[in-house]
Structure 1
Amino acid sequence: MRKQVLNEWGLKADPLFLAAGPCSAESEEQVLETAKALAEAGVSFLRAGIWKPRTRPGSFEGVGPEGLVWLERARAETGLKIGTEVAEPAHVEACLEHRLDVLWIGARTTTNPFSVQAIADALKGTDIPVFVKNPMSADVALWMGAVERLANAGLTRLGAIHRGVSSSLEMRYRNAPAWKMPIELMRCMPDLPMICDPSHICGKAGLIPAIAQEAMDLLFDGLMIEVHPNPPEALSDAAQQLTPKQFSELIDGLQLPHEKSESSSFIHRMSALRDGVDELDSQMLELLGRRMDVVREMGALKREQNISTLQLDRWTEILQDRVTRGELLNLSEPFVQQLMQSIHEEAIRQQEKDRIGL
């Protein structure tokens, strides 16, 4: 079990791995106040940003190495382990000098393999636990590659943090949850501990409990949550930080589901339902195969008349119609759009394959 791996690292994860603390270390008083409030909450380590990669200059970009001294004092006074984000070798060197217990690589850094490799090189010869946040885009291979670079440098205590992905679409969250990313990484790297950062997914404190519970339902090993003694006064990401009291209430309200059941009636009924899903999937694939047969006939007709593969008006008509039909079947618009876009992409591939003679 991945939770057992975290326990073996000395980062308690039974029943849940919890990293909590302010988005940014702002003052010694703020760090100590937060640490003392969290000391009895069962957190695995105190998190606080020391260097903040901001989108535009002029905003608060962290206090720098001075904040590491504050974290050390918080550890000495509360017994909490301490961790922060690193983005370059100089950050790694400073954190090792101050004996931090945990490091993580942020989403902006994960996006750049050169930066990840430089951090991996700086960490050679150590075996500090390092977590890797997913990249800004929905690129599982890039996320996996960052983990592999660290592993190739000799690091063995590695984990992943899911914090959602950037999106140009209007939505209720700051970053799209994109659950398929961590699920795929868990499939490819089943022994890699996976924790969720609902603060950065949500962007608003009120949305965090629901996303945190969803992560538990998807077998995440724990949570990283931003906690500030006075969120409205925070120097960065004020809207997404919880108070210590709100954090405790969230954790107390979480339900931790089991992956399996010993109930014979449950097992029997679930087996029958899964058989039904398998049969429906088989029918669905057969229908898609037949659809592509029709698509190839359409492609041949287009070639005879030198008509373009893409028929934009027809595609717009199809997409609008299928979204409407999907709503009547209780299927969400984003799901139907994604499904139809994938089908359309394959239809174009099939027609173009015949057009160029592959």
Structure 2
Amino acid sequence: MKNLKLASKENKARTVVNVSGVEIGGGFTVMAGPCSVESEAQVIETARAVKAAGADMLRGGAFKPRTSPYAFQGLGLNGLKILEKARQETGLPVVTEVLDPRDVSWVAEFADVLQIGTRNMQNFSLLREVGRAGRPVLLKRGMFSTLEEWLNCAEYILSEGNPDVILCERGIRTFESYTRNTLDLSAVPAIHELTHLPIIIDPTHSTGRISLIGPMSLASVAAGADGLLIEVHCRPQEALCDADQALTPAMFADIMGRIRPLKAFMDQLPEQDNFLPQG
């Protein structure tokens, strides 16, 4: 991928994105929280629960891009204020999605990390704007996008002077209908071969099934991912968005109890650049 002037692994040592002391790419980072901000009580309760279970960051959507214009679209500014309060109470840095280039500057006043969702991966005006915002950016892979297209979108952000880009694999659309999307775990070692940027996995949107989130989280650790982005809701049955795929705090705590030991075990294994025969 010769057109990658800034994202290429050849141009820089591995990037570690520091978000208020949390290092993405320097260990294993777990971002957890509700799909959407629904109320102050809901977010605060969930934030406390995910922190107690070992999460490093809080995720939550104040703006929600929905397939239907009649579905819940998020609380907007009020949602951002709720996330800010949750950060103050728990100390967890906040990652939230921004949809419109016109909103970037003021959303950045509340968010520690600006998320670009799959539908906006190739919104080049938005990419340039977050590149100038002075905040780390979490860039989700487009649902129909190749790795090259994804990395070129990261290049847009990097070219505006923002070195802090976190890639997020969230599944791609295939003919398979059992899962919401198809999780491309091969993207993890491939991305590490191609770029210095860190990559995390979203096992929630990629599978859309609670029963698969745990196994895919463990598989992400084994594949070498730099972290996870997981949906957790204090009462999933009441969720206004993605209720069928949100973990309860107890489920999340169980997964966290498996993730950390596996990561510690993987870190003890000898490093190997690739699995090709030597000699």
| Fold shared per TM-score above 0.5 | yes
Change (3 A) 1:29 1:259: closer
CA distance in 2, matches of 1:77, 1:17: 20
Q: TM-score, normalised by structure 2?
A: 0.85
Change (3 A) 1:274 1:101: closer
Change (3 A) 1:97 1:118: closer
Residues 64-91 of structure 1: per-residue CA shift (max 9 Å, x gap) = 1110110111111111111201122233
1:170 to 169, 172, 176: 176
Structure 1 residue 61: deviation in Å? 1.0
Q: Name 1:68's counterpart in structure 2.
A: 80
Q: Name 1:258's counterpart in structure 2.
A: 266
Q: Name 1:23's counterpart in structure 2.
A: 35
Name the SS of the counterpart of 2:230 in structure 1: strand
Q: Name 2:10's counterpart in structure 1.
A: none
Residues 159-187 of structure 1: per-residue CA shift (max 9 Å, x gap) = 101101122x2333111112333433221
CA distance in 1, matches of 2:74, 2:276: 51
CA contact (8 A) 2:30 2:55 kept: yes
Q: Name 1:187's counterpart in structure 2.
A: 193
AA aligned opposite 1:227: V
CA contact (8 A) 2:36 2:241 kept: yes
Matches within 5 A, 1:297-312: none
Q: Name 1:113's counterpart in structure 2.
A: 124
Q: Name 1:245's counterpart in structure 2.
A: 250
Change (3 A) 1:145 1:262: closer
CA distance in 2, matches of 1:224, 1:10: 18
CA distance in 2, matches of 1:41, 1:110: 31
1:137 to 144, 148, 156: 144
Q: Name 2:8's counterpart in structure 1.
A: none
Name the SS of the counterpart of 2:145 in structure 1: coil
Residues 212-249 of structure 1: per-residue CA shift (max 9 Å, x gap) = 11111110011000000011111001111101111110
Q: TM-score, normalised by structure 1?
A: 0.67
1:208 to 209, 213, 219: 213
Residues 140-169 of structure 1: per-residue CA shift (max 9 Å, x gap) = 1221011111111111111101101122x2
CA contact (8 A) 1:131 1:161 kept: yes
1:93 to 105, 119, 123: 105
Name the SS of the counterpart of 1:154 in structure 2: coil
Aligned Cα RMSD in Å? 2.6
CA distance in 1, matches of 2:123, 2:108: 22
The number of residue pairs the alignment matches comes to: 262
User: Could you tell me the percent identity over the aligned residues?
Assistant: 35
CA distance in 2, matches of 1:262, 1:61: 47
CA contact (8 A) 2:54 2:256 kept: no
AA aligned opposite 2:57: F
CA contact (8 A) 1:138 1:178 kept: no
Gaps of 5+ in 1: 280-358
Q: Which has the larger radius of gyration?
A: 1
Higher RCO (C-alpha under 8 Å, 6+ residues apart): 2
CA distance in 2, matches of 1:236, 1:155: 31
Structure richer in helix, relative to its length: 1
2:162 to 134, 155, 158: 155
